[in-house]
Amino acid sequence: MSFPITLDSPIRFPGPLPEAADVVVLGGGIIGVMTALYLAQAGQKVVLCEKGRIAGEQSSRNWGWIRRQGRDKDELPIVVESLRLWRGFADHFGDALGFRQTGVIYLANSDAALEQYEAFLPHAAAQGVDTRLMARCEIQSLLGTSGPWKGAMYTPSDARAEPWAAVPLLAGLAAEAGATIAEQCAIRALDVQAGALVGVFTEQGRIRASRVVVAGGAWSRLFLAAHGIVIPQLSVLASVAQTVPLPEVFAGGATDSHFAFRRRMDGGYTLAPGSEHDFFIGPDAFKSFSRYLGILKQDFRSTHFRPMAPVGYPDAWGTPRNWGDGPSPFEATRLLDPKPNRASLSRAQDRFAEAFPALGRPQIKTAWAGMIDTMPDVVPVVDHAPIAGVTIATGMSGHGFGIGPGMGRVLADLVMGRPTGHDLSRFRLSRFQDGTKARVGPALA
């Protein structure tokens, strides 16, 4: 399969649901899948409910990068762990994941970008990551062109994988470990009594459980708000394309301010705008506008504002905000499958052709888009909620695929009350209420 998963993809995990579980996981993206895997391996009776298809949304629509380079310094230890775990999964599955440690390059269009890259080097060194700066002559040697770039940051041991192949395989591993996975099964609401979780209501019936992990991606804010838990999460639309097979200019992934590409197993490239994205303006956007001023100052020129989301999207004007335990918005829109911004992709084709004139303008075989759940500071919420028994894991801000295994392991231990092995204070929910000054992390996906 060389395209994102959609509702036309067959159901691989039909359930059925048990009457009770130790932990219920909401959301079948990579964060939910990996959390379910590690919970099951720890002996927990775990149920994962996905309203559409496993990896049907952003987890099969991302660039397929597994990088430590350029991470927020508080995410970096977890993604370092993640790469080790990815290597283990690659040993287990062989080539089926498309996993390769072929490197990641950030190409600098300006001296300011180079200064930002240089500032990351001490964090990389502290974690034993082989990140280094490259001069123009080194870029020429590696890519066959020095392009318009001032220099670059390069991590040779960073990796890539094929998202639409990898995440369903990992879900199968979770099922083998004992997790029950139910696609086409939305969780409508939490069952909360005396301030504590006692179960969840799904479209297929109630499950008794004292713990739940909300890993709903772009849908998390809508779900949590119905229970009085407010998070300032919004979503942006990211457009991506698959090219026809082309000669290899680099075996890994690379990006500058204008375009990004990753070598694929099928001989083509995954191609995307480097920083352009689209943003739908809705009720939540108005409520959280002031919190996003910091990131908007960085991204305003690369953001295309759209006045209305398609009907049924999480922040669409007509999306219900309250539905009790009855039919929910999650059943009305099983899967976010937005149309890509063809103009943005066309500009990415042009920039690729300018950088690699010997290849010319790459022909696009297919294109798609995904909705990236993001936070004002571009790092996630990974924390217990005010409702006892509820844990939140959302707002991965485009970093979820690469960090997924490590974050799933962390979440499993967090849910079970075990030491996580990492400092999670940067990801606490209360940072948005306790007056903490926002520190915006790196925004590259």
Contacts of 343 (CB under 8 A, 6+ apart): none
pLDDT score recorded for residue 410: 98
pLDDT of residue 445: 46
- In three-state secondary structure terms, 432 is helix
Give yes or no for a contact between 44 and 23, defined as CB atoms under 8 angstroms apart: yes
Q: What interhelical angle do 400-416 and 30-41 show, nearest 10?
A: 40
Give residue-wise pLDDT tens across range 61-80: 999 999 999 999 999 999 99
Cα dist. 222→30, 160, 229, 280 in Å? 20, 32, 9, 15
Which residues contact residue 283 at a Cβ distance below 8 angstroms, ignoring those fewer than 6 apart? 315, 317
Confirm whether pTM is higher than 0.85. yes
Integer Cα distance of 394 and 383 in angstroms? 10
Residue 2 pLDDT > 70, yes or no? no
* 3 state SS of 25: strand
Domains in the chain (CATH in brackets) are: 23-103+157-432 (3.50.50.60)
Phi-psi region of 420 (alpha: psi -120 to 50; beta: other; left: phi over 0): alpha
Asked whether 182 and 17 are in contact (CB, 8 A), the reply is yes
What are 86's two structure tokens?
């990815």
φ/ψ of residue 180, rounded to 5: -90, 125
Average pLDDT for residues 148-153, to the nearest whole number?
Answer: 97
Element (H, E) at 105: strand 104-108
- For residues 64 and 160, give the distance between their C-alpha atoms in angstroms, rounded to a whole number: 6
- State whether the Cα torsion 35-54-222-206 is positive or negative: negative
Backbone angles phi, psi at 234, to 5 degrees: -130, 175
Q: Each residue of 22-45: pLDDT tens digit?
A: 999 999 999 999 999 999 999 999
User: Measuring CA to CA, which residue among 30, 29, 62, 24 is closest to residue 44?
Assistant: 24
Q: Please write the tens of the pLDDT for every residue from 43-63.
A: 999 999 999 999 999 999 999
Q: What is the pLDDT of residues 286-333, one digit of tens each?
A: 999 888 887 777 766 778 999 889 999 999 999 999 998 889 999 999
Give the pLDDT mean for 143-157: 96
